[in-house]
Structure formats: structure tokens, C-alpha cells
Structure 1
Amino acid sequence: MSSLVFKFQRRLKKVDNSKIFQGVVIGVIILSALLVGAKTHNLPPLAIQILGILDVAVTFFFVFEIVIRFMATPKKKQFFKSGWNIFDTIIVIGSLIPAGGSGVLIARLLRVFRVLRLVSMVPELRLLINALIKAIPRMGYIALLMFVIFYIYAAIGSIVFNEINDVLWGDVSISMLTLFRVATFEDWTDVMYETMAVYPISWIYYLTFIFLTAFIFLNMMVGTILEVMSQEHENFRAQAHGESAEGGEPASRAQIDKLEKELQEIKALLKQQAPN
């Protein structure tokens, strides 16, 4: 009995890992995204009925696919230890909510999130998301420093420029919104020229702020993400080649050293067995 179950799991695992099946799943996800977009247009009743049938078919396919993946896992607890499996399961269960009655809006919103399954199906996209998630703690300290700079400049702007334009510099919170506009270069020169009409040297205030936020801190954010992404690429490449990223040295180097040691032992044995 156990052997039959094992063979059945192996077949399901083979189906789940096959490129054809993965391509079909990605195609259905894209179809699901197109269905969500098509429903936002004014369509004739016949087209709406066809879209409804296709939506039901897509939902049942997602259920079928997640069941195959779950059944192909030997230890069922291991299935839910993967964050991507939990993510896919939540989306699939959310898609099963009926679209009638008061749950229409919730059901439609949950069906929109089915497009995110494309992230869990494509390894390269998973790599990007994992890198972004791992970069968040480092980016948090940069964001905290940015907030301190924003707060200092907002306080200065509220004190100095309050009488010039109360709408832009009324208090610290409004001043921070104004500075965000300046940092994103959204008509920031209009704000600067307005204050320069009263304080000619106020351009120093804006240029130093832009230099700190738009150039230094933004580049620090980008550098952090690129560093983490590079590490993730190395780990992914090591796993793809059966190597280990731990210890700072790939497993392939250890394998080469082991082979060289075995060759030396073989040479020593051959020398001992060779006739004098």
C-alpha cells in the first residue's frame, strides 16, 4: 500500500515539476489576469456569460493545481512551511468565495490578487521578491535616517517660510509633504522661487535637501537592494548547481579537493603495486 502511495506521489511530483504543466499554469494565470481586466469593460451579456464560465474554469484549475502540489509532497507539514505555498493556498481559497450577494466586491478583489500567483510560479520573480523582503531591515535604518532629515528640514521650513505660504509650510506635517514634493522633483522650482522672493539665499535650503535625499539616501537604498539581490543570485546559482553557499566557499571547490585527494591516493596505491 505504501509503495503504491509512493509511486502515486512520484508521478504527481513529476507532473508538478514538468515544464509543460508549469507553462500551462502560467498561461492560466495570464488568462485570469485578462479576465479580470475584461470584466472592467462594458460588454454584451453573452460575453459576460462566457467570461463567467472561464472564470469558474480558472478557479477549478487553480484548485486542481494546488491539490496536485499538496498531494505530491511526502510530508504534508513541509508543504505549509513554504511561504509561497501558503500564499498560493490563501489566494486559491479566496477565489472560491461566491461572487453573489454582498461578497461581490470582496470576491472580485480577491480574484485580482490571483495575478500575483505569477510571482510564485516564476523562480526569477521569486528571487526578486525574496531580495526585496530581505533588504527591508537594512532599508529601514536608511528610511529612519531619511525621516530624521525630513523632520529637521520640515521644522526649519515651517519656522522660516510659514509667513510666505501657510498652505505649504503651515506646520511640520504639511512641510514634510511639501518636502516630499521637492524630493520627487514635482514642480519644486515653483516652491523655491516663491521663498527666494523673500529670502534670496533660500536656494541653499532646497539644494542641500535634494542632495541628501534624492542623491545620497536614494542611492543608498538602491545599493542595499542590489547588494541583497546579488547575494540572492549567488545563492540561487549555487543551489541550481548543487553547491552550498554556506561557509563562504562553494561545495564544488570541496568536491574538487576531494577528487584530487582521491587521485593522489590512487597514484600512491599504483606505485605500491608497481613491480620494482
Structure 2
Amino acid sequence: MNSLVFRTQRRLKKIDNSKVFQGIIIAVIILSALLIGAKTHNLSENAIAILAMLDSAVTVFFVIEIVIRYLAYPNKKQFFKNGWNIFDTVIVIGSLIPAGGTGVLLARLLRVFRVLRLVSMVPELRLLINALLKAIPRMGYIALLMFVIFYIYAAIGSMLFHNINEVLWGDVSISMLTLFRVATFEDWTDVMYETMTVFPISWIYYLSFIFLTAFVFLNMMVGTVLEVMGQEHEKFRAEQHGETGEGGEPASRAQIDKLEAELAEIKALLVDKVK
């Protein structure tokens, strides 16, 4: 009995890892996206009926695919320790909600999110998402510092320019919206020239703010994302080559070089002993 289960599990694992099967899944996900787009157009009743049949077929396929992936896992508890597996399972279960009745909006929204399954199926896309998620905590500190700068400049702007244009500088909250417009370069020169008619040197206020937000903080954000993405690429490369470090984590290049150096030293010592 155990051997039969093992053989079945191994066959399912082979199917799940098959490039052909993975390609079919990606094709079905793309088909699902096209079906969602097609439903937004004014179609005949026959076309709507055909789309409904195709949508049901896609849902059935996703259910079969997630069941195959679950059964292929040697340890079923480990399946739900993978965040991508949980994400796919929630999307597939949500797709089973009937499209009619009170749950029509929820059903449609979950069917839209089925397109995101493309991310979980393509390793390179998973790499980008993982890097972005890991970069968010670091980016949060940069965003907090940006908020402090925005708040200080907004308070100063509200004090200085309140009488010039109350719509743009009426209070701190409105001033922050105006500064966001300046930071995104949306007709910011019009705002600057308006205040320069009363305060000729107010250009210093705008240029210093743009320098901090658009140049310094934006580049800090980009640098953080690139650093984390580089680390994720290194881990992905290590996993592809079956290299692991301590604690089951992928080994870094430095760890591999250190191990090779130690092996070279051991080899040299053995050669000396033989001589």
C-alpha cells in the first residue's frame, strides 16, 4: 500500500514539475485573463454562454492542478508553509464561488486575481515579488523620513504662502498635497512663480525640497530595491545549483569561496604528509 502511494506521489510530482504541464498552466492563466477582458465588452448571449463555459473549464483545470500539486508533496503540512501555495489555493477556492447572487462582485474580483497566478508559476516573477516584499521594511524607514521632510516643508509653506494662495497652502494637509505635486513635477513651476511674486527667493524652498525628495530619497528607494534584488538573485542562483549554506539557506558566493579555500588547504596538508 505504501509503495503504491509512493509511486503515485512520484508520478504526480513528475507531472507537476513537467515543463509541458507548466506551460499548459501558464497558457490557461493567459486564457483566463483574456476571458476577464472579453466579459467587459458588450457581447451577444451566445458569446456570453461560451465565455461562461470556458470560465468553468478554467476553474475546473485550476482545481485539478492545485490538487495534483498538493498530492505531489511528500509532507502535506509543508505545502501550506509555502506562501505561494497558500495564495494559489485561496484564489482557486475563491474561483469556486458562484458568479451569481450576492457574491457576484466577490466572485468577479477573485477571478480577476487569477491572473496573478502567473507570478507564482514563473520563477523570475516570483523572484521580483520576493525582492520587493523584502525591500518594503527598509523602504518603510525611507518613507518615514520622507514624511518628516514633507511635513516640515508643508508647515513652512503654509506659514509663508498662506496669504498668496489659500487653495494650495491653506493648511498643513493641503500643503502636503501641493508638495506632492511639486515632487512629481506636475506644473510645479506655476506654483513656484506664483510665490516668487511675493517672495523672490522662494525658489530656494522648492529647489531644496525637490533635491531631497526627487533626487536623494528616490535614489535611496531604488538603491534599496536593487540591493535586495541582488541578494535574491544570488539565492536563486545558489538554489539552481543546489548550493546551500548553514541552516538550509542558499550559500552565498563568499561562503562557497571560503569552502573552496579550506578544501585547498586540506589538500595541501595531505600532500605534505604523503611526501
TM range (shorter): over 0.9
Map Cα deviations across residues 125-159 of structure 1 (whole Å, 9 max, x no partner): 00001001111111111011000000000000111
Q: Name 1:165's counterpart in structure 2.
A: 165
Pick aligned residue for 2:254 from 244, 249, 257: 249
Distance between the aligned counterparts of 2:68 and 2:174, measured in 1?
A: 53
CA distance in 1, matches of 2:129, 2:29: 18
SS of corresponding position for 1:249? helix
Look up the match of 1:107. Answer: 107
| Percent identity of paired positions between Structure 1 and Structure 2 | 76
- 1:13 counterpart residue number: 13
Residue aligning to 1:124: 124
CA contact (8 A) 1:29 1:117 kept: yes
Q: Which runs of 5+ in 1 are unaligned?
A: 272-276
Residues 7-86 of structure 1: pairs in structure 2 closer than 5 A: 7-86=7-86
Mapped to 2, the partners of 1:80 and 1:148 lie a distance apart of 40
Which amino acid in structure 2 is aligned with residue 84 of structure 1? W
The equivalent of 1:234 in structure 2 is 234
Residues 238 and 250, structure 1, Cα contact 8 Å, conserved in 2: no
Q: What CA distance in whole angstroms lies between the structure 2 residues aligned with 1:265 and 1:60?
A: 62
Provide Cα deviations, 1:214-269, integer angstroms capped at 9, x if missing partner: 00000000000000000000111011111134476344763685488569758977
Give the paired residue count. 270
**2:152 aligned residue:** 152
Q: Which runs of 5+ in 2 are unaligned?
A: 245-249
In 2: Cα distance, 1:251 partner to 1:58 partner: 45
CA 1:237/1:51 → structure 2, altered by over 3 Å: closer, same or farther? Answer: same
2:23 is matched by which residue type in structure 1? G
CA offsets 1:183-237 (integer angstroms, 9 cap, x no match): 0011111111111111111111100000000000000000000000000001110
Q: Which residue does the alignment assign to 1:274?
A: none
Change over 3 Å in CA distance of 1:119–1:247 after alignment to 2: closer
The 1-side partners of 2:2 and 2:261 are apart by: 39
State the AA in 2 paired with 1:136. I
Cα displacement (A) at 1:73: 0.4
User: Is residue 183–residue 214 contact of structure 1 (8 Å, CA) maintained in 2?
Assistant: yes
Cα distance in 1 for partners of 2:189, 2:24 equals 52
* Cα distance in 1, alignment partners of residues 217 and 227 from structure 2: 15
* Stretch of structure 1 that moved more, 254-263 or 221-230: 254-263
Q: Give SS of 2:99's match.
A: coil
In structure 2, the CA distance between the partners of 1:120 and 1:252, relative to structure 1 (3 Å rule), is: farther
Distance 2:85 2:227 in 1: 27
Counterpart of 1:18, as a letter, is S
Separation (CA, whole Å) in 2 of partners of 1:258 and 1:2? 42
Secondary structure of residue in 1 paired with 2:185: coil
What pairs with 1:167-206 in structure 2 (closer than 5 Å)?
Answer: 167-206=167-206
The 2-side partners of 1:96 and 1:203 are apart by 58
What is the TM-score of this pair, normalised by structure 2?
0.93
Amino acid at match of 2:219: N
Distance 2:181 2:140 in 1: 21
Partner amino acid, structure 2, of 1:71: L
Question: Stretches of 4+ moved more than 6 A in 1?
Answer: 266-269
Question: In structure 1, what is the Cα distance between the partners aligned to 2:194 and 2:75?
Answer: 67
- What is the CA deviation profile of residues 72-117 of structure 1, one whole-angstrom value per residue up to 9, with x for unaligned ones? 0011100000000000000001101000112111111110000000
